[in-house]
Amino acid sequence: MTEVVHHTIEDKKVLDAPSKEWEPKIIGFLCNWCSYAGADLCGVSRYQYPTNIRAVRVMCSTRISAHLVLDLFRAGADGVILGGCHLNDCHYITGNFHTEKRFRLMKELLKDAGIEPDRLRLEWVSASEGEKFSKVVTDFTEQVRKLGPSKVKKDAAVKAKVEAADGASETFRLKALVGKEYNLEKTGNVYGNRLEKSELEKLIDLAAKDEYERSLILVLSKEKPRSVKELGKIMDLPADKVLRHIVVLRQKNMISMDHPEGLTPTYRTIEIGGEQ
């Protein structure tokens, strides 16, 4: 899918295109049944909006994985907007409820990665809301313009962080938690209990933070072996926490220790390793 998206919007070229005057590069994912139809209506009705957006049609907004979005940010997108049906109007009944959950995770991960969360927006636009579509796009483009160009291209550190956030979004743990979030909250878990929204969000946020930090350790230790203290400094994280992450990563066979001659071991990412 990622490749399809890249291909469709030729994003690599679009995003890399040199221009003297910076223009925000924005990608929009629109669901087939509501938002895309709304965008069409917008056109039919000749409502105007800035040209920065490249829209991609998907069948349902819930098709957009966190990885898809984070990968775009990694490639240098300045903004991403998701459009779906209004809640309870989803063509696929509950798809957009899941989108909502996933959207929250994307925001969390963006925050962790140091990308302004305002570069990502989710809007419900129905097939009849042509005008709303133009307003939303105009507003979002302005918002992104104000934020300026994404730091990803200039700042290698931010790029590494976004890569880490992307890596985290692909872990089974986060996919599983966010995938189940809506049902756990609304229809109940296997014991027939509905989970408290705030508690569930807290649990997911903690998991997201863990996975992001672990993912960042792997990204940073891919370049060269690094010590716990060094990682702590780069990540602005207490060294003991870094060590605890490394313990987990070693258990999963994703990072290995180089036995030191001195007192400070270093760790390197195992590229062939990892969970199945």
Partner 1 sequence: MSTDAAHKSASQGGNGGDEHFEPRILVFCCNWCSYAGADLAGVSRLQMPPYFRVIRTMCSARVDPEFIMRAFQKGADGVLVAGCHPADCHYIGGNYRTRRRMALMKVLLQQFGFDPDRLRLEWVSAGEGEKFQKTIIEFTNTIKELGVSPMKGGE
Partner 2 sequence: MAASDKIGAVMVVGGGIAGMQASLDLADSGYKVYLVEKQASIGGTMAQLDKTFPTNDCAMCIMAPKLVATGRHHNIDLITNAEIAIVDGDAGNFTVTVKQHSFRVDPKKCTGCGSCAQKCPVEWTNEYDEGTKMRKAIYVRYPQAVPLVYSIDPERCIGCGICAEECKAKAVEYDQKDKVLEVKVGSIILTPGFDEFNARLKTEYGYGVYQNVVTSIEFERIMSATGPYFGTILRPSDGDIPAKVAFIQCVGSRDEHCGNEYCSSVCCMYAIKEAAIAKEHTSQVNPTIFFMDMRAFGKEFDEYYNRAQNEWGIKFVRSRIAAVTENPKTKNLILKYVANGEPKEEEFNMVVLSVGLRPPVDNETLSRVMKFRLNDDGFAQTGAFSPVETSRPGIYVAGAFSAPKDIPMTVAEASGAAAKAGSVISSARNTLITKKEYPKEMSVEGQDARIGVFVCHCGVNIGGVVKVPEVMEYAKTLPNVVYAEQNLYTCSQDAQERIKEKIKEHKLNRVVVASCTPRTHEPLFQNTIREAGLNAYLFEMANIRDQCSWIHMHEPKAATKKSKDLVRMAVAKSRLLEPLQNLTMKVNQSALVVGGGVAGMTAALEIAKQGYKVHLVEKEKELGGVAKKLYYLPSGDDPLAYVRRLDKEVTSNKNITVYTGAKIRLIDGYVGNFKTSLESGEEIEHGIVILAIGGQEYKPEGEYLYGKNKSVMTLLELKERLHKGDPLGKEYVFIQCVGSREKGHPNCSRVCCTGTMTAAIEIKKKDPKAKVYVLYRDIRTYGFREKYYKEAGNLGVTFIRFDDEVKPKVEEKGGKLEVKVMDEDTGKEIMLRPEYLVLASGTRPQPDAGTLAPMCKVPQTKEGFFLEAHMKLRPVDFATEGIYVAGLAHGPKFLDESIAQSLAAVARATTVLSKTELEAEGIVARIDEDLCDGCGICVPTCEYKALEVVAGKKDPKKKLVEVNVGLCKGCGACVGSCPAGALTQMGYRDSQITAMIDAALEGQMPAKKEVKQNEH
Which residues sit at the interface with partner 1, rule CB under 8 A? Answer: 225, 251-253, 256-259, 268, 270-273
The residues in 32-71 that bind partner 2, with binding defined as CB under 8 A, are: none
For residue 200, state whether it binds partner 2 (rule: CB under 8 A): yes
Binding to partner 2 (CB under 8 A) within 212-231 occurs at: 227-229
Q: Which stretch binds partner 2 (CB under 8 A): 27-35, 68-76, 86-94, 241-249?
A: 241-249
Whole-number minimum distance, CB 267 to partner 1, in Å?
8
The verdict on 147 binding partner 2 (CB under 8 A) reads no
- Residue closer to partner 2 by CB (options 198, 251) is 251
Report the residue number, 141 or 227, with the smaller CB distance to partner 2.
227
Task: Please choose which of partner 2, partner 1, none residue 14 contacts, taking the beta carbon within 5 to 8 angstroms, the exact cut-off set by kind.
Answer: none
| Choices 70-78, 88-96, 108-116, 251-259; region in contact with partner 2 by CB under 8 A | 251-259
Which CB atom, from 117 or from 260, has the smaller least distance to partner 1?
Answer: 260
Query: What DSSP assignment string belongs to the chain?
Result: -HHHHHHHHTHHHHHH---SS----EEEEEETTTHHHHHHHHHHTT----TTEEEEEES-GGG--HHHHHHHHHHT-SEEEEEEPPTT--TTSSHHHHHHHHHHHHHHHHHHHT--GGGEEEEE--TT-HHHHHHHHHHHHHHHHHH-S-TTTT-HHHHHHHHHHHHHHTSHHHHHHHHHHHHHHHT--TTSPPPPHHHHHHHHHHHHHHHHHHHHHHHHHHHS-EEHHHHHHHHT--HHHHHHHHHHHHHTTSEEEEPPSSS--EEEE-SS-S--
Q: Assess 198 for contact with partner 2 (CB under 8 A).
A: no
User: What Rg, from alpha-carbon coordinates, does the chain have?
Assistant: 20
Structure tokens at 250: 């070693």
Q: Which is nearer to partner 2, 34 or 242 (CB)?
A: 242
**259 contacts partner 2 (rule: CB under 8 A):** yes
Residues that bind partner 2 (CB under 8 A): 172-174, 176-177, 180, 184, 188-191, 193, 195, 200, 203, 207, 210, 227-229, 232, 239-240, 242-244, 246-248, 250-251, 257, 259-260, 262-265, 272-273, 275-276
